[in-house]
Amino acid sequence: MKFRKQKVAAVALSSLFLFGTVATACDLITTDPDQDLLQVVAEVDITNGEDFQSGGIYADYASAIEPAQVLKRDLLASYVSSGQELMSTYSYTAEETFELLIDSLVNRQVYLQFAKVYFFESDSFDYTVSGYESATAGISDSLDRDLAGLSYFLTKEEIAQANYSVRTAFNNSIDTQEASYINAEEDDHDHDTARTTPTGIDTELEDYYDEAYKIYTGYNSASNCGSYETQEGSTPSTRRRGYGLFVSSLEYFSLISGNEDTTDPESLTYFKIELKNAYETLIINKLADAFEEEAEAQVTREWIESEYNNTLTSQRNQFDNDTDALETALDSVSDSSFVLYSPDENYGFVINILLPFTTSQSAALENALADSGDRYGNKFGTRASLLQSLRATDQRRTWFTGHDDYSFEATEEDKAFTNGDSARGYLFFENSLKNTSRYEALTNYYGKYTYNGTVETDEDGDYVITPKQLTVDDVISEIEAYLTFGGYSILNADHPNGTSAYYNRQVSNYYTDGEVDYSSFVYYTGSVAKDGQTIASTFNANNVFVEGSTENVAMSMINELSFAYNTDTAGLNSYLGYVVSPDETDYMPEFEYAAQLAVRGGAGTIVVAPTDYGWHIIYCTFSYAGNTPYTFNWDEIDVEGTFSNLYYEAKKSSNLETYATDRQTQIINAYATDECVTEYPSRYSDLVETVEGTSSDTHSH
């Protein structure tokens, strides 16, 4: 037997055709697309393999395995969606790229065909060849027969999920086309930079579906389309025009024929094509779930505890002698990558909320003369004056505008924090905070902090948003009040260098023994406490991501405040914040001192200090006090968010990935052979040549 390939990566999945890149695809078509794109570029039939011949281990299943064809249209869509990135990222030639793409499409079909064999053979499923043949009997149309055959392996709920996903994809594509016809008037916020949102906003649950959801074409009523929401400015007229453009794209790429009834999108050939794709994806997922059960049996308590102890020993041996390796590891910390040991207890993480100087203030500082008598050329006096006049604002105004309006008016049930201001009443992310039967719940974000400013609507119904102007003391007061609202307090709150006097000191106050004294810049310190005990004194590293824990709630509140006020956007959506080392860092020295002070104080410590960028409000989320902060506890592997749960899931996932890759490789190597697969490179050679020519033209410039 001759093998076409020996090693295969994870099986790639096909995706919906990307109509946003139609122009790119059009550029690659050098002939009339009609019929050309319907050419078969590869045929797959694993029943030609030895295992399916008379006497073979799978011979009894051969009659229920349908041959598959890969069309030139599929290959073109695959290139548009991922091929260009392969070429730009990995410098593949056009020929290498199309070889990878065709292999990926072929492997998908091999994998799908084997999935049926697995389901027939496994005692865990109740699928039979006779049942399959009964489900497909009498269906002459090949596409309808494929759908019937695939649906045999799916539950009613899975079929409903597939229909919902395809309808959603249709509406999203039509939305894109319709947007070009919607001429919404510009408002004052059109040029605002969109504010970063927390990760996972409005992410639907994987198994969610709405049976009432329909495709909106403009010929039907949007109110009868279930949970579909029209775009801002949409009218039946713009929708019909957008749908018309969508249909034209389908016709151009031979995804529908000219005689189809386009008034009913679910009767279109393309809808069935994408429904078939959705069914296939669910079947691949079902096989992956079966592999997961097989792999999970290998994840024993003894193995996990051995992995934990070995990793801890390895890290101790490495990090005791190589702090650079430690800091590199800390930079990669996540819920699947852990640093279990630190030789110095003063490593940790901080959230940094930057309240910035304005452009004019930064220019004034840059152009200012050095402080009188300062032989080092520092401008601490000028900076202090600018800090006193610095005003911060709530940065979330763009969350009110555009199609993605994340705001909602809080009700009494929401128990929102307003800090006594009756004009404040808007919160954000209602779906992710309240509609968790449909959307993934928002984590590490408390969700009760109202927009700090006035929100009104003008005669056109547009938002008129005016943020409050806040001094650093105002922001500190907001933080203190919000934490109190959440059941916390601030112990040991202190202004070690005074308040009003802070801004009017002599140059000598900034130095000790001729060196800059960075402690002189600390404006505020405090320790967040619960029930009279500081978080630092009761800190349990195992519970930092456990919803409702003392550590997590406080961090979630500060994280929300960071989204409200922080202009250091690189720090938004970070895992635990910035890594802080007790050694010299690349941070600005004032920030370095303040961050190290916060980490030494332990989790829950707040330090406020300036740099030439403005004010920094620094909150310690995690400290390695004790060197080995975690404890693996097998009894907690099912307690969501605990270290033991995260560690177990990460190890299980890694084991599954290895196991699944090995199983996929076995399947592909067994059946992606010359006996089972036939390719026709000449039928897509024009695509290769066109891409090659385009690439050459690009490089020549």
369: pLDDT strictly greater than 60: yes
Average pLDDT value for residue range 620-642: 95
Residue 535 Cα to chain centre, angstroms: 30
403: pLDDT strictly greater than 70: no
Residues 6+ positions from 501 with CB-CB distance below 8 Å: none
193: pLDDT strictly greater than 80: no
3-state secondary structure of 517: coil
Q: What was the pLDDT predicted at 640?
A: 97
Alpha-carbon distance of 565 to 583, in angstroms, equals 29
Q: Residue 511: enclosing H or E segment and its boundaries?
A: strand 511-512
Q: Are 158 and 278 in contact (CB under 8 A)?
A: no
Beta strand 605-611 with 614-623: parallel, antiparallel or unpaired? antiparallel
Cα→Cα distances 340→216, 327, 534, Å:
52, 13, 23
Average pLDDT value for residue range 199-208: 94
Cα→Cα distances 149→45, 137, 155, 308, Å:
16, 9, 13, 45
> Lowest mean pLDDT: which of 72-81, 307-316, 527-536?
72-81
Average pLDDT value for residue range 51-55: 96
3-state secondary structure of 241: helix
For the chain, what is the largest distance between any 2 Cα atoms, rounded to a whole number of angstroms? 97
* Residue 257 pLDDT class (50, 70, 90 cuts): confident
Region for 138 from its dihedrals, namely left if φ exceeds 0, alpha if ψ lies in -120 to 50, beta otherwise? left
- Tell me the chain's radius of gyration from C-alpha atoms: 30
Alpha-carbon distance of 424 to 435, in angstroms, equals 23
Residues 6+ positions from 498 with CB-CB distance below 8 Å: none
189: pLDDT strictly greater than 80: no
Alpha-carbon distance of 560 to 333, in angstroms, equals 21
Around Cβ 69, how many Cβ atoms within 10 Å? 15
Q: Are 601 and 490 in contact (CB under 8 A)?
A: no
139-143, 511-515, 630-634 — most confident range: 630-634
**b (16+ CB within 10 A) / e for 559-581:** bbbbbbbbebeebbebebbbbbb
Residue 205 Cα to chain centre, angstroms: 14
188: pLDDT strictly greater than 70: no
**b (16+ CB within 10 A) / e for 373-400:** ebeeeebbbbbbbbbeebebbbbbbbbb
- Residue 272: how many CA atoms within 13 Å on its side-chain side? 15
Give 316: exposed, middle or buried? Use CB within 10 Å, 0-12, 13-18, 19+: middle
419-439 per-position pLDDT tens digit: 999 999 999 999 999 999 999
What are the residue boundaries of the structural domains of the chain, listed by start? 1-121+648-701, 138-186+195-297, 344-392+469-626, 395-468
Query: Looking at residue 186, what DSSP letter applies?
Result: P
649-687 per-position pLDDT tens digit: 999 999 998 998 899 999 999 999 999 999 999 999 999
Alpha-carbon distance of 153 to 196, in angstroms, equals 41
Torsion angle in degrees (nearest 10) through CA of 156, 159, 160, 162: 160
Q: Are 566 and 488 in contact (CB under 8 A)?
A: no
Q: What was the pLDDT predicted at 81?
A: 78
Q: What was the pLDDT predicted at 27?
A: 61
What percentage of residues in the chain have a pLDDT greater than 90? 78
207-223 per-position pLDDT tens digit: 999 999 999 999 999 99
Q: What integer best gives the mean pLDDT of the chain?
A: 91
Alpha-carbon distance of 661 to 286, in angstroms, equals 15
3-state secondary structure of 652: helix
* Residue 253 pLDDT class (50, 70, 90 cuts): confident
Q: Are 544 and 553 in contact (CB under 8 A)?
A: no
Alpha-carbon distance of 509 to 505, in angstroms, equals 6
More confident residue, 689 or 15: 689
226: pLDDT strictly greater than 60: yes
Residue at 388: amino acid letter: Q
3-state secondary structure of 270: helix
Tokens of 239: 């929708």
Q: What was the pLDDT predicted at 192?
A: 66
Residue at 229: amino acid letter: E
Percent composition of the chain: helix, strand, coil (DSSP 3-state, to 5): 50, 10, 40
Quick one: which of 310, 381, 315, 361 has its CA closest to 628?
315
> Lowest mean pLDDT: which of 4-13, 133-142, 618-627?
4-13
Alpha-carbon distance of 366 to 379, in angstroms, equals 9
Alpha-carbon distance of 174 to 262, in angstroms, equals 13
What percentage of residues in the chain have a pLDDT greater than 70? 92
Backbone phi and psi for residue 620, each to the nearest 5 degrees, phi listed first? -80, 120
Quick one: which of 77, 119, 112 has its CA closest to 98?
77
Alpha-carbon distance of 236 to 226, in angstroms, equals 17
Tokens of 677: 């697969």
Q: Residue 159: enclosing H or E segment and its boundaries?
A: helix 156-179
- Residue 380: how many CA atoms within 13 Å on its side-chain side? 23
Q: What was the pLDDT predicted at 477?
A: 98
Q: What was the pLDDT predicted at 84?
A: 81
* Residue 78 pLDDT class (50, 70, 90 cuts): confident
Alpha-carbon distance of 44 to 113, in angstroms, equals 9
Q: What was the pLDDT predicted at 312?
A: 97
* Residue 20 pLDDT class (50, 70, 90 cuts): very low
Alpha-carbon distance of 640 to 542, in angstroms, equals 11
In the block, which residue shows the tokens 């519970």? 543
> Lowest mean pLDDT: which of 33-37, 194-198, 324-328, 405-409?
33-37
Q: What is the pTM of this model?
A: 0.88
* Residue 626 pLDDT class (50, 70, 90 cuts): confident
Average pLDDT value for residue range 568-577: 95
Tokens of 701: 């410039």
Tokens of 506: 């002599």
Helix/strand/coil (H/E/C) assignment for every residue in 53-116 = CCCCCCHHHHHHCCCEEEEHHHHHHHHHHHHHHHHHHHCCCHHHHHHHHHHHHHHHHHHHHHHH
Around Cβ 147, how many Cβ atoms within 10 Å? 20
73-82, 192-201, 205-214, 292-301 — most confident range: 205-214
3-state secondary structure of 45: coil
Residue 181 Cα to chain centre, angstroms: 30
Residue at 208: amino acid letter: Y
Tokens of 221: 């009523």
262-282 per-position pLDDT tens digit: 989 999 999 998 999 999 999
689: pLDDT strictly greater than 50: yes
Helices 129-136 and 142-151 meet at what angle, rounded to 10?
140
Q: Are 81 and 18 in contact (CB under 8 A)?
A: yes
Q: How many helices (H) and strands (E) does the chain have?
A: 21, 16
Tokens of 287: 């096989």
Q: What was the pLDDT predicted at 659?
A: 92
3-state secondary structure of 690: helix
